[in-house]
């Protein structure tokens, strides 16, 4: 049985994950509007990932006998500036999610909820991967700037990303 504190915290994390999907949908639309279809694709894959992350929390709460409570999703920004700024915003957001996951892990430790600690370990590892992927793209964007052949090549690279459902 999941504790009330863990249930509340996990329900809030479902909201964080769904907001992430909403934010990435907005980033994708912005990228498509400025002609960066590869960037748009990369963010669409993020949308799918974040929805799947929310579903993992949803099912976990249910499996532990908890009650799902869906919260209001805030409106994301719709203007972002340069391609570099798209990924600066992404890194900032992923760092926020990392903090949320770390706070959940701390709560699970405090609650002596070993099952939740094991469940959350996947997210801890996932966030290391998420931040690293974004930093890699940011590093490339900083090298090439916001225009020219380099931007075209990164856009092309990002266009081949596909969604792989988590296990």
Is 4-158 in CATH node 3.30.70.560? no
Map out the domains of the chain as residue ranges.
4-158
**Percent of the chain, pLDDT > 70?**
100
Q: Which two tokens stand for residue 25?
A: 């949908």
Tens-digit pLDDT string for the chain (167 aa):
999 999 999 999 999 999 999 999 999 999 999 999 999 999 999 999 999 999 999 999 999 999 999 999 999 999 999 999 999 999 999 999 999 999 999 999 999 999 999 999 999 999 999 999 999 999 999 999 877 899 999 999 999 999 998 87
Note the pTM of the prediction, 2 decimals: 0.95
Alpha carbon distances (Å) from 83 to 92, 93, 126, 148: 15, 16, 24, 12
To 10 degrees, what angle do helices 37-63 and 114-144 make? 170
Query: In the prediction, which pLDDT does 42 show?
Result: 98
Q: In sequence order, what DSSP letters do the residues of 34-97 get, joined into one string?
A: TT-HHHHHHHHHHHHHHHHHHHHHHHHHHHTT----PPPPPPPP----SHHHHHHHHHHHHHHH
């Amino acid at each position: 049985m999941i504790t009330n504190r863990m249930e509340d915290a996990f329900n809030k994390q479902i909201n964080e994950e769904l907001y992430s999907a909403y934010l990435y949908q907005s980033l994708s639309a912005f990228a498509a509007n400025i002609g960066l279809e590869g960037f748009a694709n990369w963010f669409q894959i993020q949308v799918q990932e974040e929805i799947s992350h929310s579903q993992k929390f949803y099912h976990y709460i249910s499996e532990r006998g908890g009650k799902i409570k869906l919260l209001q999703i805030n409106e994301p920004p719709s203007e972002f500036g340069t391609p570099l700024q798209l990924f600066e915003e992404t890194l900032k957001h992923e760092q926020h999610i990392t903090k949320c996951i770390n706070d959940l892990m701390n709560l699970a430790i405090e609650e002596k909820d070993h099952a939740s600690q094991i469940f959350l370990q996947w997210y801890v590892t996932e966030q290391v991967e998420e931040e690293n992927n974004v930093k890699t793209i940011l590093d490339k964007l900083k090298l090439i700037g916001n225009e020219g052949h380099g931007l075209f090549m990164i856009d092309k690279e990002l266009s081949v990303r596909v969604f792989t459902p988590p296990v």
